[in-house]
């Protein structure tokens, strides 16, 4: 509770985010490198860059499409030279790095040598894999997975699919957050008759597979009872119920993490239980649970793919069902790569947001240091 005693004079800017530990990287130690460590760094980095840039250059020279020319590029002598050179550079980096690290007189030189060896090892592993790979039926593989020409025919469908993925996940999460808030409060009730059903709901939806839930609610309940509810709606409801159970646990933990004194102060000012919850506890708890909630959301984005089992119409299909659908039509697996790219395009920014939020919340800039 000695928070801010240092910043006593109010209006003082809050202390800066704690500095990260000093970087162990190479940026500041260029001057310390020895010939051996420099060699290791140059060979390692060169080898790794060559694997990527060289292979890309060869593929570009032969042409990425059609798949025949891509396959030709992969099996070409030029590509073999690229890979063998990379492995050679990697090996050189490894040897120079090991020797350099042992003889290094400064920390910077040792870091340089070790980093060079690490990069070299990566070049060897990657180039080695590609070397092994080009001995297989590359022709067939390229046709199966790298038919980028085919994708251009389905651009619209993939864009709509990405939109559907986002809509499914967002609506599910919105329902989930609302349910989660309510059931978290129920689960915290001092009355067993209120608590028990909340726990039952939470445990049931956390304890059974989402795939089972989707199947049961659609095939079991909707089709079984002949209800007039569409697949898409059922999917959103089930995602909402599922997300609600997980969010409830997150909110419950968040609410419990707020000191008792906050609640007591609110009650002693004449606030009702619900008013104290709404005005004092939740505003603080919600800030604390934003990172885990966003994590849940990322998981839900990926889990929307489970709707493939329900059989969606063309306009309802999300990323994975679109990929599977196109695969069934064309017997070409490239759409799966496109689907993966779609998921990453949605989830990676979310993951970055979580990291950013966590850092921000930890640094106490929101006034929740205490």
Partner 1 sequence: MNSDGSLVRLEDVHKWFGDDLYVLRGIDLAVTPSEVVVVIGPSGSGKSTLLRTINLLEEPTEGRVLFDGVDLTDIRTDLNAARTGIGLVFQQFNLFPHKTALGNITLALRNVLGLSREEARERAVEQLREVGLEEKADAYPGQLSGGQQQRVAIARALAMRPKLMLFDEVTSALDPELVKEVLDVMQRLAGEGMTMVVVTHEMGFAREVGTRLLFIDHGQIVEEGEPREMFASPGHERTRQFLAQVL
| Interface size with partner 1, residues (CB under 8 A) | 35
Judged by CB under 8 A, does residue 182 bind partner 1? no
Judged by CB under 8 A, does residue 18 bind partner 1? no
- At its nearest, how many Å lie between partner 1 and the CB of residue 20? 22
Judged by CB under 8 A, does residue 268 bind partner 1? yes
Report the distance separating Cα 350 and Cα 344, nearest Å.
10
Judged by CB under 8 A, does residue 5 bind partner 1? yes
Judged by CB under 8 A, does residue 275 bind partner 1? yes
Judged by CB under 8 A, does residue 348 bind partner 1? no
Judged by CB under 8 A, does residue 264 bind partner 1? yes
Considering only residues 269, 309, 345, 351, which one is a binding residue for partner 1 as defined by CB under 8 A? 269
Using CB under 8 A as the binding rule, the residues of this chain from 220 to 259 that contact partner 1 are 259
- CB-CB neighbours of 284 under 10 Å: 18
Using CB under 8 A as the binding rule, the residues of this chain from 101 to 140 that contact partner 1 are none
Cβ atoms of 117 and 44 closer than 8 Å: yes
By beta-carbon proximity to partner 1, the closer residue of 136 and 283 is: 283
Instruction: Provide CB contacts within 8 A for 320, sequence distance 6+.
Output: 305, 308, 339
User: In angstroms, how far apart are the furthest CA atoms of the chain?
Assistant: 82
By beta-carbon proximity to partner 1, the closer residue of 262 and 347 is: 262
Report the distance separating Cα 83 and Cα 123, nearest Å.
9
Judged by CB under 8 A, does residue 279 bind partner 1? yes
Radius of gyration of the chain from its Cα atoms, rounded to whole angstroms: 28
Judged by CB under 8 A, does residue 277 bind partner 1? no
Report the distance separating Cα 108 and Cα 97, nearest Å.
13
> Half-sphere exposure of residue 217, counting CA atoms within 13 Å on the CB side?
22
3-state secondary structure of 287: helix
Q: Which residues bind partner 1 (CB under 8 A)?
A: 1-5, 7-8, 10-12, 14, 259, 261-262, 264-272, 275, 279-280, 283-284, 287, 364, 366-370
């Amino acid at each position: 509770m000695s928070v801010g005693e240092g910043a006593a004079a109010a209006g003082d800017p809050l202390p800066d985010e704690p500095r990260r530990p000093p970087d162990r990287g190479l940026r500041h130690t260029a001057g310390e490198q020895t010939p051996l460590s420099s060699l290791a760094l140059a060979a390692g980095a060169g080898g790794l860059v060559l694997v990527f840039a060289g292979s890309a250059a060869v593929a570009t020279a032969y042409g990425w499409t059609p798949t025949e020319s891509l396959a030709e590029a992969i099996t070409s002598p030029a590509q073999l030279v690229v890979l063998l050179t990379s492995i050679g550079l990697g090996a050189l980096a490894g040897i120079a790095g090991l020797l350099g690290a042992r003889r290094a007189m400064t920390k910077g030189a040792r870091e340089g040598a070790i980093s060079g060896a690490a990069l070299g090892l990566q070049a060897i592993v990657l180039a080695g894999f590609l070397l092994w790979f080009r001995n297989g039926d590359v022709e067939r593989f390229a046709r199966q997975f790298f038919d980028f020409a085919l994708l251009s025919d389905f651009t619209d469908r993939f864009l709509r699919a990405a939109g559907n993925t986002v809509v499914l996940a967002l609506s599910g999460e919105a329902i989930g957050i609302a349910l989660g808030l309510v059931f978290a409060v129920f689960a915290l009730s001092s009355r067993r008759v209120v608590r028990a059903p909340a726990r039952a709901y939470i445990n049931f939806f956390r304890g059974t597979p989402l795939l089972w839930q989707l199947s049961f609610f659609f095939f079991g309940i909707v089709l079984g009872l002949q209800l007039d509810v569409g697949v898409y709606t059922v999917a959103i409801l089930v995602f909402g119920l599922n997300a609600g159970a997980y969010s409830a646990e997150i909110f419950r933990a968040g609410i419990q993490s707020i000191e008792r004194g906050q609640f007591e102060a609110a009650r002693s000012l004449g606030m009702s239980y619900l008013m104290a919850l709404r005005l004092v506890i939740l505003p603080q708890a919600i800030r604390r649970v934003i990172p885990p909630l966003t994590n849940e959301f990322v998981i839900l984005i990926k889990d929307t793919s489970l709707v493939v089992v329900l059989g969606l119409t063309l306009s309802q299909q999300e990323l994975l069902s679109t990929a599977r659908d196109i695969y069934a039509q064309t017997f070409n697996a490239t759409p799966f790569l496109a689907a993966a790219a779609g998921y990453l395009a949605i989830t990676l920014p979310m993951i970055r947001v979580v990291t950013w939020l966590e850092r921000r919340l930890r640094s106490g800039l929101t006034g929740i240091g205490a």
